[in-house]
Amino acid sequence: MHSLIQLSIAVLLLPLLSFVILIFFNKRLPRRGDFIGVGILGTTFAISLYIFWSVVVQSYDPAFRVVWDFTWIDLGNVPGVGPLVIKMGIVIDNLTAIMLAMVTLISFLVHLYSTGYMSGDPRYGRFFAFLGIFTFSMLGIVLADNLFAIYIFWELVGLSSYLLIGFYFEKDSAADAQKKAFLANRVGDIGMWLGILILYSQFHTFSYQEIFANLAAGKFGLSQAWLTAAGILLFMGCVGKSAQFPLHVWLPDAMEGPTPVSALIHAATMVAAGVYFVARIFVLLTADALHVIAFIGAFTAFMAATIAITQHDIKRVLAYSTVSQLGYMVLGLGVGAYSAALFHLVTHAFFKACLFLGSGAIIHAMHHEQDMRWMGGLRKHMPWTFATFTLATLALAGLPLTSGFMSKDAILAGAIGFANAEGGGIYYIIPFLGFFSAMLTAFYMGRQIWLVFFGESRTHLKPADDHHHGHDAHAAHGHDLHHEEAHGVHEVPWNMRAPLVVLAALSVFAVYSPDPLDGAKGWFMSMVQTPATVVGSSAGGAKHDTAVSATRPDRLLAEAVPAVGHGAESDAHSEGVASEAASEGHGAEAGAHGEAAGHVFSDPRQASIAHAAHEAHNPAILISSVMVVLGISLALVVYVFRIIDPDRTAASIRPLYLFSFNKWYWDEIYQATIINGSVVLSKVLSWIDTNIVDGAVNGVAVVTKKVAFTSGGFDRYVVDGAVNFTAFFVNTTGAVLKKLQTGKVQTYVVMLMLAVIGYFIYYFTQLIS
Amino acid sequence: MELLTNIGLNHYLTISALLFGFGLFAVMTRKNAIVILMGVELILNAANINFLAFSKFNGGMEGVMFSLFVIVLAAAEAAVGLAIVINIYKIFRSVDVSTIDTMKE
């Protein structure tokens, strides 16, 4: 076993150990055992960092891959299915190593932060236990090398999310939110499972590599439409977990959970798992499936951004921002900007975790006030929080010199390239929505910064009866500091500050790339490169042969290169076909030419999109910068200089304002259609149950009773009658015959004599005749 | 007189039948067990007379032999029968056969 595999198993199991210790023994440990959670996660992070170091930094090979698996369940030859072997395994490549480091780092920081934020909570120890099992499940998703394993961990993160959203389960809203999250995820997971089954039915394996190899070899026995369907069904898992339209409704409600949970699960890691999963199966997505993904991502990004601009709750703004940014990632994958989408996943994870932890610090300092209308002027009281929050905001808005700028720009460049390569028309909606959302993002984040940190404190403006729901949940949250400074807003302690600083530092461009304008020159996009598709580019076509041959890199390279227009020497490497196919020349090339140029695709469609994306890089930078500046200026104009009065503007476009404020009425629409539909359906079914099913059962019972009655009568009168008659007959006969036995010898003699006489009479009559 | 002088087979048979009838009558009607045994003796002797009569008129000695056996048997039977009667008397304190009906039903 490779030493990295051993280390990754340790990384996977340590958080589970933390969970087991804390869930059983937290009340018997000093400080409820929080030091165990933090310590174990610290160790886990250290190991992950070592893995990251040896995989990404030392080997510096885009095609690095270590796979290890073992047979978990061998069901033998199942009739009607064939040999059924379920394997468990671990794959470590650059993406895995980066994700491991990212997840464990954020998890560690959130653990540390929670020692401050959650202190005094009656279920303090349990909180850390839940964080442990969540981290375990998330690492399982990252490390899994097959669809079955990822599905298991997928459900486990769903469970942890459920437990943590409903951490304050005394609150009805939290209990409702956790149910909503679980059910919405369930809808997506069903689709994902069906997708897995479609692939399994064809290849009898769950392993990514085997599925991709089989696809590349053209062994998919069904039509191309089935493959598209499988891709879209698998994407449904992402729609649920990554809160894409139409299943996005659960994520904003999930903010009922404690804020560190929002940072860890509902901003940085779990919701990114959907994107990560789509990236894992990226090579089997057909062009049609990718189009669906791109449109859903673009729509989600736009819709969530429009909602975020009118929300009052500080966490809700961030939640919709998360949905919007996840939409960007999905959009990025849909348009084929694979590296960019994953880059954005990582950068977003850091700055959004920073924003959530910052909002947690604000909420903590404001004594659980979450409404931005009653904040203001916190800049002076909380300088550390202000600085880190602002830096992360700039990254989210996508200002140059931040990580978010590079990754968002790469996605948008990909979107433009995609639209160009697809021939424009309707496809320009995708980059348009992307850029428009970028402007909205800048606007709502500028609004948030201004409302929270600048101006004068508006705490006194809050209506007395408008008690925020957050209060009740934290009634037991009697922190000593709160009593000392009942009304003063103060900076948070060091254990909450340190994570903010670390995360803010990771939002700076220099961490990822030497060139602040081009993320493609950085290590991330060199190490995580778009894998060549294994399904070909015949969009919706049934030309299976073309699709297969297009994936043979060595054979088609000659045709592909002219089409691409780049005479690069590097081999095209196909993740699905063979990991060894990757060349050593990749890294240097990629560093020099960026994502598109350093990578030559055997597939013409991928190649043309990558090429177009590369060309669209500079326009994208320009447009997105303009958009961001526009958004921030608008925020300044509205909230700082008060040239446009926000309230009056809202009143003048009241329908639009209400449309946004009420979140596009999705909850109401779902209530009216799906939920009420379910209720009506259940009533109909109930009626059918009581009247038809029960009626049938009762009818059967009545018939049975009649039959039994008849049968009983037959039994009683005929069968018993026969038996009783026999007995009666014998009895009567015996009663008559017993008279013969008088006990008197003389009677017998008389009878004997009569018998003899009778015999003689008979004898003689016979003799005479 | 001829009836008395010309004694033939029918005379013997008639006597024998009468004797059998008396014996049978005694067996059937008397209540005393000893009298019944006496009736049985009469029946046996009626049979003896038949044996001897047929032996005399048909020739041969088989009937005589049979009658001798019957006499022996009758003696044995009388001994056994009287022993039974004595035992019955011991148990029931009576030799009245009408009261000895414990084998009824």
SS (H, E, C) chain B: CHHHHCCCHHHHHHHHHHHHHHHHHHHHHCCEHHHHHHHHHHHHHHHHHHHHHHHHHHCCCHHHHHHHHHHHHHHHHHHHHHHHHHHHHHHHCCCECCCCCCCCC
Mean pLDDT of B14-38: 90
Q: Which residues of A touch B29 (CB under 8 A)?
A: 746
Name which of A491, A508, A487 is nearest A385 in CA terms. Answer: A491
As a whole number of Å, the end-to-end CA separation of chain B is 56
- A731, A749, A751: best mutation site toward chain B, by most B Cβ within 10 Å? A749
Cβ atoms B78, B33 nearer than 8 A: no
Q: State whether B27 and A746 contact (CB < 8 Å).
A: yes
Q: Considering only alpha carbons, which residue of chain A is nearest residue B40? A: A749
**What is the identity of the amino acid at A360?**
G
Q: Which residues of B touch A750 (CB under 8 A)?
A: 28
pLDDT band at residue A460 under the 50/70/90 scheme: confident
How many alpha carbons lie under 13 Å from residue A359 in its C-beta half-sphere? 30
A60-119: per-residue pLDDT in tens? Answer: 888 888 888 888 888 888 887 777 888 888 999 889 999 999 999 999 999 999 988 888
Name which of A433, A416, A415, A414 is nearest A306 in CA terms. Answer: A433
Name which of A613, A55, A627 is nearest A340 in CA terms. Answer: A613
Cβ atoms A413, A340 nearer than 8 A: yes
The A-side interface with B (CB below 8 A) comprises 738, 741-746, 749-750, 753
Question: For all residues of chain A together, what is the average pLDDT?
Answer: 82
Nearest to B103 among A743, A749, A750 (CB): A743
Which helix (H) or strand (E) is A75 found in, with range?
strand A65-78
Residue B26 Cα, gap to closest chain A Cα (Å)? 10
Residue B2 Cα, gap to closest chain A Cα (Å)? 32
B60-98: per-residue pLDDT in tens? Answer: 888 899 999 999 999 999 999 999 999 989 988 888 888
Q: How far apart are CA A200 and CA A523, in angstroms?
A: 35
Q: Which residues of A touch B98 (CB under 8 A)?
A: 744, 746
pLDDT for the residue numbered A568: 37
pLDDT for the residue numbered A296: 92
| Contacting residues for A746 by C-beta, under 8 A, at least 6 apart | B27, B28, B29, B36, B97, B98
Query: Is the pLDDT at A483 greater than 70, yes or no?
Result: no
Instruction: Provide the H-helix boundaries in A118-143.
Output: 124-143
**What is the identity of the amino acid at A121?**
D
**Cβ-based burial of B94 (10 A; exposed 0-12, middle 13-18, buried ≥19):** middle
Query: Is the pLDDT at A725 greater than 80, yes or no?
Result: yes
Of residues A423 and A670, the one with the higher pLDDT is A670
Tokens matching residue A449:
């910064």
Cβ atoms A208, A166 nearer than 8 A: no
pLDDT for the residue numbered A480: 39
Name which of A310, A266, A30, A27 is nearest A162 in CA terms. Answer: A266
Q: Which residues of B touch A745 (CB under 8 A)?
A: 36, 97, 100
Q: Considering only alpha carbons, which residue of chain B is nearest residue A734? A: B105
pTM: 0.72
Tell me how many residue pairs between chain A and chain B have CB atoms under 8 A apart: 31
Tokens matching residue A415:
């979107």
pLDDT band at residue A464 under the 50/70/90 scheme: low
Pick the CATH number of B2-92 from 1.10.287.3510, 3.90.1300.10, 3.40.50.300, 2.40.50.140: 1.10.287.3510
Q: How far apart are CA A153 and CA A156, in angstroms?
A: 5
A494-528: per-residue pLDDT in tens? Answer: 888 889 999 998 888 878 887 777 777 788 888 88
A673 beta partners: none
pLDDT band at residue A553 under the 50/70/90 scheme: very low
Task: Name the one residue in this structure whose structure tokens are 């051993």.
Answer: A6
The DSSP call for residue A534 is S
Nearest to B97 among A741, A746, A753 (CB): A746
Name which of A303, A193, A192, A171 is nearest A249 in CA terms. Answer: A303
Name which of A335, A341, A331 is nearest A410 in CA terms. Answer: A341
Residue B55 Cα, gap to closest chain A Cα (Å)? 24
Nearest to B27 among A738, A743, A749 (CB): A749
Q: State whether B97 and A753 contact (CB < 8 Å).
A: no
Nearest to B102 among A738, A743, A750 (CB): A743
Q: How far apart are CA A53 and CA A37, in angstroms?
A: 24
Of residues A595 and A710, the one with the higher pLDDT is A710
Task: Name the one residue in this structure whose structure tokens are 């990212």.
Answer: A102
Name which of A326, A348, A204 is nearest A277 in CA terms. Answer: A326
Q: In this structure, what are the phi and psi dihedrals at residue A319, rounded to the nearest 5 degrees?
A: -65, -45
pLDDT band at residue A584 under the 50/70/90 scheme: very low
Q: How far apart are CA B13 and CA B7, in angstroms?
A: 11
Residue B31 Cα, gap to closest chain A Cα (Å)? 9
Task: Tell me, rounded to whole angstroms, the distance of Cα A540 from its chain centroid.
Answer: 28
Task: Tell me, rounded to whole angstroms, the distance of Cα B63 from its chain centroid.
Answer: 17
Residue B79 Cα, gap to closest chain A Cα (Å)? 19
Q: How far apart are CA A606 and CA A560, in angstroms?
A: 10
DSSP assignment of A474-490: TTT---HHHHHTSS---
CA dihedral A140, A143, A147, A150 (to 10 degrees): 20
**What is the identity of the amino acid at A154?**
W
Q: State whether A742 and B27 contact (CB < 8 Å).
A: no
Sequence ranges of the domains in chain B: 2-92
Q: Which residues of A touch B101 (CB under 8 A)?
A: 742-744
| Contacting residues for A377 by C-beta, under 8 A, at least 6 apart | A453, A454, A455, A456, A457, A458
The DSSP call for residue A344 is H
A91 beta partners: A67
A82 beta partners: A78
Long-range contacts of range A180-183, CB-CB < 8 Å, 24 or more positions apart?
A: A180/A249, A180/A250, A180/A253, A181/A250, A181/A251, A181/A253, A181/A254, A182/A158, A183/A250
Q: State whether B105 and A741 contact (CB < 8 Å).
A: yes
Least confident segment among A216-220, A243-247, A678-682: A216-220
How many alpha carbons lie under 13 Å from residue A452 in its C-beta half-sphere? 32
The rounded radius of gyration (Å) of the Cα atoms in chain B is 17
Task: Tell me, rounded to whole angstroms, the distance of Cα A75 from its chain centroid.
Answer: 29
A142-188: per-residue pLDDT in tens? Answer: 999 889 999 999 999 999 999 999 898 888 889 989 899 999 999 99
